[in-house]
């Protein structure tokens, strides 16, 4: 059984025991434990079930590469699935549950799948669930969805908060092992601004576990001294619990900081996403040990050799009394030696290699009495929920069992692979190192920055250097080179420390154990534990023609689980290469994509949740609207009142009331959101003549004119009233959604094409509160406020004037989007609420009521006024809408003119705007299509028109609509069929789009 | 006229790692023109008594000043009640030269962020190097705060003043409060 031993545990605070629960069982661990080490210390070897076959699975590794030990963590608002036990720091009260099992971890019904595994090969789902077609949706998919998947989706709102942090530095070093620390010291001493990130809570990486001496002192104390030295350097920022998650263009790096995962009761955000801009990035990300592929290599108790060493040294955990070591390299001997030195038993080291002479580590193992069996391998591991024994065979053979060795644990090592993920994220290339049998960064092909030079440098083990001395020298040289290139200079007295050298015998690549394993062994030899991909699956993929590595990956799901193939990728590639008789570099790797290890969705969202999920733009009268029954409508980021509902009143009734009241008495509209852009300069008129389809330069100061704006492709993009303020200055109104867009449109043309025009523009939308005072009583209301002359003679339709009303400085535009007598009055935004209040008081006995956007829509539709976004959708030109009167014939050019002359734009069969009136007075469904005879080339009903705006008009007592119809204006009086989505077909007559006061008498009083 | 109402009317948050204060409106005039022209320099001097700021800098003298906004744009700052005079003065100073000056005082909301963690609060929201070496009094950054445009400058090493659009004043106040939540110190900047 796995247990805590008396000695070891350098990361533990044994004076502080903590309790936690796993699947409801109360267990105890120590401060400093990871969840994985605490589970192992409690003999919890079985931690989960695999994805496909529901096989029992135990902890394999001790770091972020762990594929099996995923748990549901926490409860309610703190619940999170797929948390890695190996990277979860233990805390008092931690609550974890294993995943992917039913009804229980110990007894799992889904494990039946393993007996069916012969029938569930790679591509099974693709092959099986294609026929019969309807079965997918109703039978297969629900069943698969129920049985697949790892953790549960959280059901409660996340109780934690998250944030981002923008940081800048010259040199960013990712990884706080000895390489990262030495690189930080070197770069720091050169004077560069340095940030050093370490994903765990501890500095030094795995060097303190692996041992050795640096400058004559043990690694441990060297690390402590170095950390102390770095802490005194004000230009070096050191952060633990921050993982380098992704490297992007221009030296942009994401760091994932876990602030309170280990202390959930602490105040402050849970995670912080560092958004770092670095002059140069050094990846000192170390290496990950590879498993070996032998039958039963997924049985709980089979672990990576170095991870067994980690649990022993860091956490004082013995995975079993008897551990069989199986290896193709020297490093696993360190585990054998450490175990025996800790008083545990290593019945054998099965070394797949055949070497001419023993290396020093082998000699040391033999001195300790360990039985070293060269050229030997594991034929099969015996056991189900935990290891019981291994069957030994010759590596060169087909797996004939020579001997069975009883044991509780198997320590396997297939060699080491540098963590090249961050190097590769932005395009760094890899080379195959035949000596190490691994990919490592190709120093000649780094990811390139904007200047054409590499901006990432790998250092230490991440660069393919594995001896302690080599690692330190490489890290020092890398940091020195980086700092020098950035213009810093390392003082000559700062030199690389020297470390003890340990001679090692070379590794022999082993991709299958034994090398002649038959299919019965291969189909129990796991490559990808999390996604249940075996050696046999990869071979099948190759056999079925999936020879591209990216295809084989997707066909078999190798490396597609939440661990992204950290353990399986190289073994999988090698297996694929073997099946194809190709060499590994020619097969290549799959693409490394950020993040390196899953990061929380919360950290990506940062602060953007709840109240600050998105900006909500409020007008100066927002609070008044809110207090007076506003039903809000989002218009871009603005909130505008759709209607003001009185107690007990439905929204529809409120809208009808507002329309009638505005037509008969008087209404107030908050029009502050409409864009207002100042265009000033000697060339302002010329500029606007090019922007608008009609002539603006001829407008006289004091006058207003409605204008249309098109894109260079001829399509209508905005409309609004332009007021000429003085000879040099215009004020252009835009739609609510158009303010920023049209401002940018103007700047773009001024900066890129018409840079020689003397014109400046300024967006002053928010400087003003603008209130439309609309209806027959509007003038009386303003006269009651008193001040400037608002009579027809003093201020005629389509004129504007500055003055005061009721003591407020204001500018009045006599413009109308309703067909009524209407004044749009702008005051400084800070005066907006007070002015609105004054209007409400003055209008009290004139029948004033506020009205919202739906009333505005109905008023304009009754008048046949188009609305950008309703009658237009980016494919509509003014001519479609019968707006030819607003297109100047006199101008040589305007944006869109030439496009509108193209054959498709002048096609007489373009749908044109008409009014629509149902034959029974009902209201047409919005967006409904008019159908004609026959079908089109896709066998759909022929369509001859569509509804763009439709309302019930209380003024006319019937449904009115506008629509675009084929040859519409020539078909007045014709009745069209509009099938609705409710099964009904609506009939509507084509009429003039102006339903109300066609002569414009009411607005011109 | 009634008293000008700011978008947030004196909002305060003091419970976090920095103090957030919604300020009374200040006078702001957006200027476009040729920043290298001598008439421009003279007009600024006359209007608010300060010289032309360098790129990404702000020249302040008491409650008046000028901030660099872009290669042809400035922001003039003055007391709210002085705006009309300042505009008049600029207009005279510009004479017949092609330039633009518009009052944007009411289009903005103004905040002060105060305390030793001021830089961190801003660095959680704006992609700006806020280290004391890179950003100190006399500098301004026109940038974004999470999802909206904003500009800020340091009044002293621990105090920043920030302007944003009026319509998003509540959003910005809520953002700053979130970024200043208790227990969220980063400890990144060292003096």
Q: Is the dihedral of CA B125, B129, B133, B135 positive or negative?
A: negative
| Unique residue bearing structure tokens 């291969």 | A522
- Judged by CB atoms closer than 8 Å, whether chains meet at B146 and A608 is answered as yes
Please tell me the predicted confidence (pLDDT) of residue A561.
Answer: 85
Please tell me the predicted confidence (pLDDT) of residue A118.
Answer: 60
Give dist(CA B19, CA B155) in Å, integer. Answer: 14
Encode pLDDT of A909-941 as tens digits. 999 999 999 999 999 999 999 999 999 999 999
B189 touches chain A (CB under 8 A): no
| Unique residue bearing structure tokens 């999470």 | B146
Give dist(CA A482, CA A851) in Å, integer. Answer: 65
Report chain A residues whose CB lies below 8 A from the CB of B174: 611-612
Question: Does residue A259 register a pLDDT over 90?
Answer: yes
Q: Grade residue A568 by pLDDT with cuts at 50, 70 and 90.
A: very high
Compute chain B's Rg from CA coordinates: 17
Q: Which of B134, B141, B129, B136 is nearest to B158 (CA)?
A: B136
CB interface of A with B, residues 660-699, below 8 Å: 678, 680-682
Give dist(CA A837, CA A835) in Å, integer. Answer: 5
DSSP-based three-state secondary structure for A423? helix
Lowest mean pLDDT among A49-58, A834-843, B178-187: A49-58
Q: What is the pTM of this model?
A: 0.94
Lowest mean pLDDT among A15-19, A317-321, A529-533, A680-684: A529-533
Give me chain A's average pLDDT, please. 94
Backbone angles phi, psi at A240, to 5 degrees: -90, 170
CB interface of A with B, residues 225-264, below 8 Å: 234, 237
Give dist(CA B138, CA A587) in Å, integer. Answer: 58
How many Cβ atoms sit within 10 Å of the Cβ of residue A690? 21
Please check whether residue A323 is in contact with residue A408, taking contact to mean a CB–CB distance below 8 angstroms: yes
Q: Which of A225, A387, A299, A218 is nearest to A55 (CA)?
A: A299
DSSP-based three-state secondary structure for A219? helix
Report chain A residues whose CB lies below 8 A from the CB of B102: 678, 762, 764, 767
- CA-nearest residue to B26 within chain A is A830
Question: Does residue A148 register a pLDDT over 90?
Answer: no
What mean pLDDT is predicted for residues A787-812? 97
The terminus-to-terminus CA distance of chain A in angstroms comes to 96
Q: Grade residue A145 by pLDDT with cuts at 50, 70 and 90.
A: low
Q: Is the peptide bond before A861 cis (omega within 30 degrees of 0)?
A: no
Q: Grade residue A296 by pLDDT with cuts at 50, 70 and 90.
A: very high
DSSP-based three-state secondary structure for A941? strand
Q: Which two tokens stand for residue A455?
A: 């901006």
What mean pLDDT is predicted for residues A873-882? 97
Q: Grade residue A53 by pLDDT with cuts at 50, 70 and 90.
A: confident
Backbone angles phi, psi at A783, to 5 degrees: -65, -35
Please tell me the predicted confidence (pLDDT) of residue A142.
Answer: 67
CB interface of A with B, residues 793-822, below 8 Å: 807-809
Q: Is the dihedral of CA A623, A628, A629, A634 positive or negative?
A: negative
Backbone angles phi, psi at A351, to 5 degrees: -105, 115
A6 touches chain B (CB under 8 A): no
Report chain A residues whose CB lies below 8 A from the CB of B128: 166
A613 touches chain B (CB under 8 A): no
- CA-nearest residue to A828 within chain B is B106
Q: Which two tokens stand for residue A419?
A: 């963590």
Q: Which helix (H) or strand (E) holds A395?
A: none
Please tell me the predicted confidence (pLDDT) of residue A332.
Answer: 98
Please tell me the predicted confidence (pLDDT) of residue A116.
Answer: 60
Encode pLDDT of A270-281 as tens digits. 999 999 999 999
What mean pLDDT is predicted for residues A65-77? 93
Q: Which two tokens stand for residue A689?
A: 């003549």
Report chain B residues whose CB lies below 8 A from the CB of A640: none
Encode pLDDT of A407-438 as tens digits. 999 999 999 999 999 999 999 999 999 999 99
Please tell me the predicted confidence (pLDDT) of residue A178.
Answer: 98
Q: Grade residue A52 by pLDDT with cuts at 50, 70 and 90.
A: confident
A299 contacts: CB under 8 Å, gap ≥ 6: A56, A58, A381, A383, A384, A385, A386, A387
Question: Does residue A528 register a pLDDT over 90?
Answer: yes
- Judged by CB atoms closer than 8 Å, whether chains meet at A267 and B182 is answered as yes
DSSP-based three-state secondary structure for A245? strand
Q: Grade residue A103 by pLDDT with cuts at 50, 70 and 90.
A: low
Q: Is the peptide bond before A595 cis (omega within 30 degrees of 0)?
A: yes
Q: Which two tokens stand for residue A16?
A: 């502080």
Please tell me the predicted confidence (pLDDT) of residue A65.
Answer: 96
- CA-nearest residue to A274 within chain B is B124
A179 contacts: CB under 8 Å, gap ≥ 6: A205, A284, A286, A459, A460, A461, A462, A471, A472, A474, A475
DSSP-based three-state secondary structure for B24? coil
How many Cβ atoms sit within 10 Å of the Cβ of residue A927? 12
Q: Which two tokens stand for residue B84?
A: 């009309």
Encode pLDDT of B116-139 as tens digits. 999 999 999 999 999 999 999 999
Q: β-strands A194-197, A162-174: how paired?
A: parallel
Q: Grade residue A151 by pLDDT with cuts at 50, 70 and 90.
A: confident
A987 contacts: CB under 8 Å, gap ≥ 6: A918, A919, A920, A975, A976, A977, A978
Give dist(CA A79, CA A497) in Å, integer. Answer: 46
Encode pLDDT of A571-627 as tens digits. 999 999 999 999 998 888 888 999 999 999 999 999 999 999 999 999 999 999 999
Report chain B residues whose CB lies below 8 A from the CB of A681: 98, 100
Q: Which two tokens stand for residue A836?
A: 């609105």
Please tell me the predicted confidence (pLDDT) of residue A841.
Answer: 98
CB pairs under 8 A between A and B: 147
Q: Which of A606, A762, A831 sits opposite B100 (nearest CB)?
A: A762
What mean pLDDT is predicted for residues A808-822? 97
Encode pLDDT of B144-164 as tens digits. 999 999 999 999 999 999 999
Q: Which of A234, A269, A831 sits opposite B1 (nearest CB)?
A: A831
Please tell me the predicted confidence (pLDDT) of residue A788.
Answer: 97
Query: Measured between CA atoms, how close is A171 to chain B, in angstroms?
Result: 14
Encode pLDDT of A469-498 as tens digits. 999 999 999 999 999 999 999 999 999 999
| Number of residues that make up chain B | 191
Please tell me the predicted confidence (pLDDT) of residue A1.
Answer: 82
A524 contacts: CB under 8 Å, gap ≥ 6: A295, A296, A380, A534
Mutate to test the interface with A, among B4, B186, B187, B189 (most CBs of A within 10 A): B186
Give dist(CA A669, CA A311) in Å, integer. Answer: 71
B84 touches chain A (CB under 8 A): no
- Judged by CB atoms closer than 8 Å, whether chains meet at A166 and B167 is answered as no
DSSP-based three-state secondary structure for A424? helix
Question: Does residue B191 register a pLDDT over 60?
Answer: no
Mutate to test the interface with A, among B2, B69, B80 (most CBs of A within 10 A): B2
How many Cβ atoms sit within 10 Å of the Cβ of residue A135? 12
Domains of chain B: residue spans and CATH? 12-23+107-179 (3.30.1360.120), 27-106 (3.30.70.1520)
CB interface of A with B, residues 829-858, below 8 Å: 829-834
Q: Grade residue A149 by pLDDT with cuts at 50, 70 and 90.
A: low
- CA-nearest residue to B74 within chain A is A762
Q: Grade residue A508 by pLDDT with cuts at 50, 70 and 90.
A: very high
What mean pLDDT is predicted for residues A654-674? 98
Q: Which of A234, A192, A278, A237 is nearest to A487 (CA)?
A: A192
Q: Is the dihedral of CA A127, A133, A139, A142 positive or negative?
A: positive
Please check whether residue A942 is in contact with residue A934, taking contact to mean a CB–CB distance below 8 angstroms: yes
Q: DSSP secondary structure string, B121-185?
A: HHHTTS-S--STTT--TTBEEEEEETTEEEEEEEEETTEEEEEEEGGGHHHHHHHHHHHT-TT--
Report chain A residues whose CB lies below 8 A from the CB of B168: 615-618, 637
Encode pLDDT of B42-97 as tens digits. 999 999 999 999 999 999 999 999 999 999 999 999 999 999 999 999 999 999 99
B87 touches chain A (CB under 8 A): no
For residue A663, the Cα-to-chain-centroid distance in whole angstroms is 50
Query: Measured between CA atoms, how close is B98 to chain A, in angstroms?
Result: 6
B147 touches chain A (CB under 8 A): yes
For residue A556, the Cα-to-chain-centroid distance in whole angstroms is 26
- Judged by CB atoms closer than 8 Å, whether chains meet at A767 and B181 is answered as no
| Number of residues that make up chain A | 1005
Q: Which of B108, B124, B134 sits opposite A168 (nearest CB)?
A: B134
Instruction: Please give the share of chain A, as a percent, with pLDDT higher than 70.
Output: 96
How many Cβ atoms sit within 10 Å of the Cβ of residue A906? 11
Give dist(CA A996, CA A953) in Å, integer. Answer: 10
Give dist(CA B69, CA B150) in Å, integer. Answer: 11
A668 contacts: CB under 8 Å, gap ≥ 6: A771, A772, A773, A774, A836, A839, A840, A843, A848, A849, A850, A851
Please tell me the predicted confidence (pLDDT) of residue B7.
Answer: 81
A858 contacts: CB under 8 Å, gap ≥ 6: A655, A659, A951, A952, A953, A954
- Judged by CB atoms closer than 8 Å, whether chains meet at B190 and A765 is answered as no
């Amino acid at each position: 059984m796995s247990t805590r031993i008396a000695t070891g545990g350098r990361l533990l605070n044994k004076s502080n025991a903590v309790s936690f629960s796993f699947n409801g069982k109360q267990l105890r661990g120590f401060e400093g434990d990871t969840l994985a080490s605490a589970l192992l210390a409690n003999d919890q070897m079985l931690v989960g079930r695999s994805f496909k076959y529901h096989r029992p699975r135990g902890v394999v590794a001790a770091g972020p590469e762990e594929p099996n030990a995923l748990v549901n963590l926490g409860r309610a608002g703190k619940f999170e699935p797929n948390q890695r036990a190996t990277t979860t720091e233990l805390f008092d009260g931690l609550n974890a549950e294993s995943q992917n099992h039913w009804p229980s971890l110990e007894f799992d019904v889904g494990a039946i799948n393993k007996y069916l595994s012969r029938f569930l090969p790679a591509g099974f789902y693709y092959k099986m669930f294609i026929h019969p077609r309807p079965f997918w949706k109703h039978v297969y998919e629900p069943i698969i969805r129920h049985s697949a998947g790892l953790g549960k989706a959280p059901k409660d709102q996340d109780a934690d908060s998250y944030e981002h942090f923008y940081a800048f530095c010259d040199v960013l070093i990712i990884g706080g092992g000895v390489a990262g620390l030495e690189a930080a010291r070197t770069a720091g001493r050169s004077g560069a601004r340095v940030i050093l990130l370490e994903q765990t809570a501890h500095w030094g990486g795995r060097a303190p576990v692996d041992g050795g001496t640096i400058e004559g002192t043990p690694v441990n104390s060297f690390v402590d001294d170095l950390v102390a030295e770095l802490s005194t350097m004000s230009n070096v920022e050191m952060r633990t619990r921050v993982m380098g998650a992704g490297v992007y263009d221009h030296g942009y790096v994401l760091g994932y900081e876990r602030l309170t995962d280990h202390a959930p009761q602490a105040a402050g955000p849970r995670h912080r996403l560092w958004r770092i801009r670095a002059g140069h990035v050094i990846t000192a990300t170390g290496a990950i040990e590879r498993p070996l592929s032998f039958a039963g290599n997924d049985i709980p108790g089979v672990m990576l050799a170095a991870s067994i060493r980690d649990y022993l040294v860091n956490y004082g955990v013995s995975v079993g009394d008897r551990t069989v070591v199986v290896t193709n390299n020297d490093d696993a001997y360190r585990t054998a030696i450490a175990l025996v030195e800790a008083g545990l038993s290593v019945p054998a080291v099965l070394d797949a290699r055949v070497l001419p002479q023993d290396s020093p580590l082998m000699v040391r193992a033999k001195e300790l009495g360990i039985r070293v069996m060269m050229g030997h391998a594991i034929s099969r591991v015996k056991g189900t929920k935990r290891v019981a024994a291994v069957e030994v065979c010759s590596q060169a053979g087909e797996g004939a069992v020579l001997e069975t060795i009883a044991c509780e644990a198997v320590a396997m090592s297939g060699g080491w692979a540098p963590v090249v993920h961050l190097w590769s994220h932005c395009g760094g290339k890899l080379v195959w190192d035949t000596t190490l049998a691994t990919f490592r960064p190709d120093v000649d092909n780094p990811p390139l920055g904007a200047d054409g030079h590499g901006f990432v440098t790998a250092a230490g083990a991440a660069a393919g250097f594995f001896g302690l001395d080599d690692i330190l020298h490489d890290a020092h040289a890398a940091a020195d080179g980086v700092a020098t290139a950035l213009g810093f200079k390392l003082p000559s007295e700062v030199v690389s420390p020297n470390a003890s050298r340990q001679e090692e015998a070379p590794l022999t690549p082993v991709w299958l154990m034994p090398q002649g394993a038959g299919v019965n062994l291969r189909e129990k030899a796991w490559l990808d534990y999390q996604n249940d991909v075996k050696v046999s699956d990869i071979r099948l993929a190759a056999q079925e023609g999936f020879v591209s590595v990216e295809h084989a990956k997707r066909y078999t799901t190798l490396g597609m689980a939440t661990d992204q193939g950290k353990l399986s990728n190289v073994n999988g590639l090698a297996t694929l290469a073997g099946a194809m008789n190709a060499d590994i570099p020619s097969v290549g790797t799959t693409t490394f994509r950020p993040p390196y290890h899953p990061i929380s969705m919360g950290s990506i969202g940062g602060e953007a949740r709840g109240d600050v999920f998105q900006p909500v733009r409020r007008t100066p009268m927002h609070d008044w609207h809110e207090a007076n029954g506003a039903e809000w409508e989002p218009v871009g980021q603005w909130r505008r009142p759709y209607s003001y509902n009185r107690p007990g009143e439905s929204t529809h009734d409120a809208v009808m009331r507002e329309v009638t009241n505005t037509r008969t008495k008087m209404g107030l509209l908050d029009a502050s959101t409409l864009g207002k852009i100042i265009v000033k300069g000697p060339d302002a008129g010329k500029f606007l003549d090019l922007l608008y389809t009609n002539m603006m330069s001829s407008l006289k100061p004091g006058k207003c004119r409605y204008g249309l704006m098109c894109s260079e492709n001829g399509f209508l993009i905005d409309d609004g009233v332009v007021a000429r303020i003085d000879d040099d200055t215009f004020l252009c109104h835009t739609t609510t959604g158009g303010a920023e867009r049209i401002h940018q449109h103007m700047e773009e043309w001024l900066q890129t094409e018409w840079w020689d025009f003397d014109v400046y523009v300024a967006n002053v939308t928010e400087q003003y509160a603008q209130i439309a005072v609309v209806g027959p009583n509007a003038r009386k209301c303003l006269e009651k406020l008193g001040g400037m002359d608002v009579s027809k003679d003093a201020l005629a339709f389509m004129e504007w004037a500055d003055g005061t009303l009721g003591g407020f400085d204001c500018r009045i535009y006599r413009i109308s989007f309703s067909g009524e007598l209407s004044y749009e009055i702008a005051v400084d935004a800070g005066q907006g609420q007070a002015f609105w209040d004054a209007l409400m008081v003055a209008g009290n006995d004139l029948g004033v009521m506020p009205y919202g956007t739906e009333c505005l829509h109905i008023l304009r539709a009754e008048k046949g006024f188009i609305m950008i976004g309703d009658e237009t959708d980016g494919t509509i030109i003014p001519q479609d809408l019968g707006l030819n009167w607003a297109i100047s014939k006199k101008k040589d050019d305007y944006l869109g003119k030439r496009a509108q002359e193209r054959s498709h734009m002048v096609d007489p069969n373009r749908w044109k705007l008409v009014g629509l009136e149902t034959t029974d007075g009902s209201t047409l469904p919005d967006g409904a299509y008019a159908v004609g005879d026959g079908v089109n080339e896709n066998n759909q009903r022929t369509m001859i028109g569509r509804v763009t705006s439709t309302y019930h008009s209380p003024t006319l007592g019937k449904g009115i609509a506008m629509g675009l119809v084929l040859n519409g204006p020539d078909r007045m009086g014709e009745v069209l069929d509009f099938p609705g989505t409710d099964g009904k077909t609506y009939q509507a007559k084509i009429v003039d789009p102006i339903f109300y006061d066609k002569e414009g008498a009411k607005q011109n009083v | 006229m009634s008293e000008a109402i700011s978008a947030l009317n004196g909002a305060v948050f003091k419970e976090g790692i920095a103090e957030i204060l919604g300020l009374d409106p200040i006078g702001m005039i957006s200027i476009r023109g040729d920043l290298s022209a001598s008439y421009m320099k003279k007009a600024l001097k006359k209007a608010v008594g300060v010289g032309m700021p360098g790129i990404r800098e702000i020249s302040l003298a008491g409650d008046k000043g000028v901030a660099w906004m872009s290669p042809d744009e400035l922001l003039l700052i003055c007391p709210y009640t002085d705006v009309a005079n300042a505009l008049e003065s600029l207009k005279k100073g510009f004479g017949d030269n092609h330039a633009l000056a518009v009052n944007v005082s009411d289009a903005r909301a103004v905040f002060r962020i105060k305390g030793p963690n001021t830089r961190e609060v801003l660095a959680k929201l704006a992609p700006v190097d806020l280290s004391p070496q890179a950003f100190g009094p006399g500098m301004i950054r026109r940038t974004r705060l999470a999802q909206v445009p904003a500009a800020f400058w340091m009044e002293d090493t621990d105090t920043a003043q920030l302007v944003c659009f009026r319509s998003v004043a509540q959003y910005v106040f809520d953002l700053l409060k979130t970024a200043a939540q208790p227990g969220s110190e980063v400890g990144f900047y060292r003096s």
